[in-house]
Structure 1
Amino acid sequence: MLVLTKNKQAIEGSHDDYKLFQFMCKLEMNHIYEALEGHRKNTHIDLDTHQEYVDTLVVQLNLLQYVVGIV
């Protein structure tokens, strides 16, 4: 119930708050894209040892894309 209350408050916020939130999500998404692209270019990194980190970034990116899409 607390989550629903917080979401309702976020929806009722001003348009400027929404734009700022959307901007921050997109900025974070860009940082994740850059990190993942840099990870691919850096061939000396063992992907097996860093796979959990990569998976976490991908999940975070997907969640941010979902949030920006529904807000």
Structure 2
Amino acid sequence: MKWFKQRRVEWIIEMAAIYGYINRDHIRRKFGVSTPQASLDIADALSQTSHLQYDRSGKRYVWTGPAEEN
């Protein structure tokens, strides 16, 4: 995985752990990436942690793990 993509994925996991959820718009605004790229980044984050679960009613990914992941 390229360095910038890895930083985005790490940020996704960290923000979800801190704030309890994250969505594609957060990633788009923070990094200036397209919606499809934000979706790919979330998919990569999902492959690195089991603590993200999609909330259909909220259209976001909710953190289901401890307050901070080690």
- Bigger fraction of residues in strand: 2
- Relative CO higher for 1 or 2, CA cutoff 8 Å, sep ≥ 6? 1
More helix by share: 1
Q: TM-score, normalised by structure 1?
A: 0.32
Structure showing greater radius of gyration is 1
